[in-house]
């Protein structure tokens, strides 16, 4: 028995092309759900651009500072004596500075009370003492290293007082240099006071 072939209704397919296209292009329901979820996330990102931050740029606050503050607060509350107790300032430094300033002022007053000739003679003696100290240092003999600074400071103060007097007299810098050259040329070479005392003994 021979079966008759099925006849396809071509007229229905030709007459309804939209139904065939829609049936071929219609997305599955899972894809629709994914698209709707993406649209929802994009709308949220557009609505709040300030609050949304990318994952790579997320800033995390350091916890060590808060923990340190808590630890510090706990330690201070446990030991209240540590919060109030502070190391006392060194008492000797301020007193020593005041004493040094008083000595300096007294020395300047004594130098200002001296005549100019006396100041020049003492400057020559102090320079001779400095020369002896340098000789002792080069020969590795015993000497006080603090004497270098003391003598240099005294010489500088004496020359400062001398220059102050020249300014009061109206002597300019150029004339002062000429007078200094004349004074250095007129200096008579003599041993310093310490050597003179040793010779007399």
User: For 40-63, what is the mean pLDDT?
Assistant: 52
CB 150, CB 100: distance < 8 Å: no
Asked whether the predicted pLDDT for residue 201 surpasses 70, the reply is no
pLDDT band at 187 (very low <50, low <70, confident <90, very high): confident
pLDDT of residue 137: 87
Nearest in space to 176 (alpha carbons), one of 184, 168, 186, 166: 166
User: For 122-127, what is the mean pLDDT?
Assistant: 92
pLDDT band at 161 (very low <50, low <70, confident <90, very high): very high
Q: What is the pTM of this model?
A: 0.49
Element at 190 (helix H, strand E) = none
pLDDT of residue 90: 59
- Tokens standing for residue 99: 């004493």
DSSP string, 86-115: -PPPPHHHHHHHHHHHHHHHHHHHHHHHS-
Asked whether the predicted pLDDT for residue 141 surpasses 50, the reply is yes
66-119: pLDDT as tens digits: 444 444 444 444 555 544 555 555 556 677 888 888 888 888 889 999 999 999
Indicate the angle between helix axes 146-168 and 91-113, nearest 10 degrees.
Answer: 50
52 contacts: CB under 8 Å, gap ≥ 6:
44, 45
User: For 43-72, what is the mean pLDDT?
Assistant: 49
- Tokens standing for residue 180: 């200094």
Asked whether the predicted pLDDT for residue 148 surpasses 80, the reply is yes
Domain ranges of the chain: 101-196
DSSP string, 112-152: HHS-HHHHHHHHHHHHHHHHHHHHHHHTT----THHHHHHH
- Tokens standing for residue 118: 């006396």
What average pLDDT does the chain have?
A: 72
pLDDT band at 174 (very low <50, low <70, confident <90, very high): very high
pLDDT band at 14 (very low <50, low <70, confident <90, very high): very low
Asked whether the predicted pLDDT for residue 45 surpasses 80, the reply is no
Better-scored residue on pLDDT, 39 or 8? 39
């Amino acid at each position: 028995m021979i079966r008759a072939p099925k006849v396809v209704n071509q007229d229905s397919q030709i007459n309804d092309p939209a139904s065939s296209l829609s049936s071929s292009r219609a997305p599955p329901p899972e894809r629709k759900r994914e698209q709707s979820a993406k649209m929802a996330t994009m709308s949220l990102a557009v609505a709040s651009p300030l609050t949304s931050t990318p994952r790579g740029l997320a800033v995390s606050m350091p916890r060590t500072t808060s923990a340190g503050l808590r630890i510090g607060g706990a330690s201070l509350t446990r030991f209240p004596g540590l919060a109030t107790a502070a190391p006392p300032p060194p008492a000797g430094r301020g007193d020593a500075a005041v004493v040094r300033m008083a000595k300096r002022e007294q020395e300047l007053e004594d130098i200002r009370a001296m005549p100019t000739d006396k100041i020049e003679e003492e400057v020559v003696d102090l320079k001779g003492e400095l020369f002896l100290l340098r000789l002792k240092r080069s020969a590795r003999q015993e000497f006080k290293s603090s004497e270098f600074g003391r003598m240099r400071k005294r010489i500088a103060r004496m020359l400062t007082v001398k220059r102050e007097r020249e300014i009061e007299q109206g002597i300019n810098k150029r004339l002062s240099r000429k007078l200094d050259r004349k004074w250095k040329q007129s200096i008579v070479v003599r041993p310093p006071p310490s050597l003179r005392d040793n010779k007399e003994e």
